Structure 1
Amino acid sequence: MKFGFGHVPAEHYRNHVELVQLAENLGYDFAWIPDQTFFHDPYAIMAALALATDRIQIGMGVTNPYTRNPGMAARGIATVDEMSNGRAHLGVGAGNRKELLNPLGLDSSHAGPKCREFVEVVRALLSGEVANVQGKYYQAVGVRMDIETRPDILLYIAGRGPYVLQAAGEVADGVIIGGLCTPKGIEYAWEQVRKGATRSGRDPQRMEAVSWVTIHITEDREAALRGLQPVVAHIIGGAPMEVLNAVGLPRETVEMIKSAYVEGIPQAAKHVTEECIDTFTIVGDAGEVARRIRTLERAGVTQVSVLMPPGTVEQHKDSIRTFADAIFPAFR
C-alpha cells in the first residue's frame, strides 16, 4: 500500500513546499496538488515542489477538463516531469460546479466523455510522435511537442459517478476513487471501472487505484463527526443519485441534504448523519483507521491519499505526522 495526501495550496507557496518536504521525510509516497478554484496555480506549485524534493511523487490531483485544455495540460505535466526527474503524475476529474464552473459561466456537461478524450489527447501528445486525435470535444491534429517527453507518465481519471469511472476503465492508467471508502462504495466503483475496461479490452487489475478520502485520527470521535459534517454535505450535495443509492444511504436523508445544499453547505450539513460520515470518510482512533485501510487494500486499492480537512499548513503538518506515526508501521 502506498500513501499520499492532498492539500489546497492557499497559503504562501513556501509553506506548502515545507509541508511536502516534511511529508517526504516522513515517508509519504505521493503529494497531490489540486487544480480547482482560485488558489495558487498548481503547475507553478508542482514546479517548486519538483526542485525542493528528491523522492516523493508529485501528482496533479486533479485538473479540470472544463477549465484546462489538454494540450496545455500535456505541456505543463511534461515540464514538471522533467524538473522532477520523472516523478510527475496527471489526474483529470470533472467537478467544482458550484464553486468554480457556475460562477465563471462554464459548461459542465458530458463529464465522462470529456475526461476520456482529455486523457486520449494528453497521451498522444506525450508519446513523442505527431498527435492526430480528433474528438468531439478536444483535438490535437498534426501536433508534436517541442520538448522531449516521457510517454509513460501515468494518467488518472478521478470521480465517483458511473460515466467518469467507466472512462477511467476505458483509457486511464489509474482511477482516483473520490470518497467511496466502504466495501459497498469500492465495489460500486470497481463495477463501473470494469465496464469501461471491458469496452476497451483492457485489464482493470493492471490499473492503479487511489482511494481519495478524508481521514481523521482522533480519540474524540464526536467532535470529529461534527467537524466533518460540512465535508460530507459537499460530497453528497454533488454526487449522482445512482452513487448514493449504491452505497446504501437512506433516501430520505439524501433528499434532505440535496434539497438544503441548494441554499449552501452550512444548511446541508445540519442533515448529515453519522452514517453519512462513515460512508464517505474514515474517522476514529488509529486502530479503527488501520482496519478500514486494510479493507480498502483487500478491495484492490493500491494507494490511500489523505485529504486534509480545512485548516492551516501548521495544522496539516501535525495531521500528516499523526497519520504517519499511527498508520505507516502497520503497513511497512
Structure 2
Amino acid sequence: FTHAWIADSQMVWADPYQCLALCAVNTQTIKLGTNVTNPSSRIAPVTACNFATLNALAPGRVIMGIGTGNTSRRTLGMPAARLSELRTHAEVCRGLWKGETVPYQEGDRRRQIRFLRSEVEFINLKDPIAIYVAASGPKTLELAGEVGDGVILFGVVGDSLLEYTLSHIRRGAERAGRRLKDIYILVATAFHLTKSGESLTEIQQAVGPLVTSECNIFALSVRDPSELPPDIRDELMAFKNAYRTPDAPVERRHLDLYSGYCLEFKPEHARLVTERMIKQTTLTGTAEEIRARVTRMAAFGVQQVAIAGGQSAIANFARNVIHQDQIGRP
C-alpha cells in the first residue's frame, strides 16, 4: 500500500492525530492523511499546526483530507460546515504552511496570524502538505476541483457516479484555470470478496453500513434530484430518509438516529441496499470482477482506491487483489 488514511469523527472513531503520529514514527515511506477532517471540529490554526507537526515526524508524507464533516457533525446533532467555511479553512492552512501571514477571523474579530517559530523543529514547513477535498454534492465537487490538490470521493465505483462526479470536478477546475488531469482522484469505498453461494443478506451485512451512509449523503447533497445520474437517480434518492428522525427530544435524538452509524447494518435499510447499488458504490464481487472494476476506474482517471474497513478487509484486498494483479494498486 502507498497510503494510509485515518477517519476523523470523534463520536465514532479514535483521535486521528494521535493515530497518525504513531503511524509516522513507525513507517518510512507510506503517505499519511485524514479521511477526512472538517472545518468545525478544530479552528484552522490548530488544524494547520497538527499537520505541520506530523510533517516534522513524516516529512513530505502528510496529506490533509478535509470535507464538510457530515459524520462528525451529524453524530453531534449539528449541521455540516458550509462550503465557505471549508474554503476558508483550507486557505488558512495552506497559507500558514507556506510560512505566510494570513487573515484569520473569529466572529467579528479579524486578525493576521502566522507560525511564530517555524525555524525550529517543532513543525515542518519545508516539505509541502497536500490538501484533498472530500466531496459528494455538485457544489462541493466543484469547490474540490477549484482548490484541492486532490479529491476524495466516497463510494464512487460505477460508471454513472464516476461520470457525474468527475464532470463537476472538471467544471470547478476549469473555473480556476486548471485541468482535471492535474487533480489527484481518490475513491474510498467498501470491499467484499464474495463467496460461492453467498446470499444478498450476507453481503449486506458486510458492506451495507457504508452503502447506506454514502448513498444517503449523495441524496442529501443535491437540491434538485435531476442533477443526479438518471439511471440510478430514484435508487439514490430513496436513501434520503434512510436515517429517520426518531420520536425523541431534539437535544438527544441524534444519539439513537446515528447509533452504529457506518458500523452496523440496520434491517430497515435492507430494501434500499440492493445488489445494483452495492455494485455502484463498493468493490464487491470475485477477485477477477474487482480487478476489472479497478482497471475501469483507472480508465476514468481514478488514481487511488482506498479500502474502508478493518484489518481483515485490507489484508484480504492485499492478498487477493493487489498481489494477484498490480493494475490499479491502492
Q: TM-score range by the shorter chain?
A: 0.7 to 0.9
Shift in alpha-carbon separation, 1:245–1:132, aligned structure 2, 3 A: closer
Match of 1:226 in 2: 204
Match of 1:159 in 2: 135
1:37 matches 2:10: yes
1:180 alignment partner, SS class:
coil
Query: 1:72 Cα deviation (Å)?
Result: 0.9
Counting matched residue pairs gives: 298
Match of 1:180 in 2: 156
Match of 1:16 in 2: none
CA distance in 1 between partners of 2:230 and 2:156 (Å)? 8
Match of 1:305 in 2: 306
**Alignment equivalent of 2:216, drawn from 237, 257, 269:** 237
1:91 alignment partner, SS class:
strand
Query: 1:261 Cα deviation (Å)?
Result: 2.6
Match of 2:229 in 1: 246
Shift in alpha-carbon separation, 1:171–1:329, aligned structure 2, 3 A: closer
Match of 1:197 in 2: 173
Shift in alpha-carbon separation, 1:271–1:172, aligned structure 2, 3 A: closer
What whole-Å deviation, never above 9, does each CA across 1:28-62 have from its counterpart, x for those lacking one? 10000111133321111111111101111111111
Unaligned segments of structure 1, at least 5 residues: 1-27
What whole-Å deviation, never above 9, does each CA across 1:195-230 have from its counterpart, x for those lacking one? 211221122211111111112223345355322233
Percent identity of equivalent pairs: 28
1:58 matches 2:32: yes
Shift in alpha-carbon separation, 1:105–1:254, aligned structure 2, 3 A: closer
Shift in alpha-carbon separation, 1:104–1:207, aligned structure 2, 3 A: same
Task: Name the amino acid aligned to 2:285.
Answer: G
2:241 alignment partner, SS class:
helix
Match of 2:102 in 1: 131
* Residues 126, 151 of structure 1: 8 Å contact kept: no
Shift in alpha-carbon separation, 1:273–1:318, aligned structure 2, 3 A: closer
Q: What does residue range 310-325 of structure 1 map to in structure 2 within 5 Å?
A: 311=310, 313=311, 316-325=314-323
TM-score (norm 2): 0.80
**Alignment equivalent of 2:63, drawn from 82, 89, 93:** 89
* Residues 45, 92 of structure 2: 8 Å contact kept: yes
Structure with a larger share of its residues in helix: 1
1:36 alignment partner, SS class:
coil
Query: 1:119 Cα deviation (Å)?
Result: 1.3
RMSD between superposed Cα atoms in Å: 2.9
Shift in alpha-carbon separation, 1:322–1:178, aligned structure 2, 3 A: same
CA distance in 2 between partners of 1:103 and 1:285 (Å)? 34
Match of 1:210 in 2: 186
CA distance in 1 between partners of 2:76 and 2:20 (Å)? 25
Match of 2:292 in 1: 291
Query: 1:259 Cα deviation (Å)?
Result: 3.1
CA distance in 2 between partners of 1:202 and 1:164 (Å)? 16
CA distance in 2 between partners of 1:234 and 1:192 (Å)? 21
Match of 2:262 in 1: none
Task: Name the amino acid aligned to 1:233.
Answer: T
* Residues 257, 272 of structure 1: 8 Å contact kept: no
Match of 2:324 in 1: 326
Task: Name the amino acid aligned to 1:249.
Answer: I
Which moved further from structure 2: 71-80 or 230-239?
230-239
* Residues 64, 129 of structure 2: 8 Å contact kept: yes
* Residues 35, 42 of structure 1: 8 Å contact kept: yes
Unaligned segments of structure 2, at least 5 residues: 119-123, 246-256, 258-264
Task: Name the amino acid aligned to 1:283.
Answer: T
Task: Name the amino acid aligned to 1:192.
Answer: H
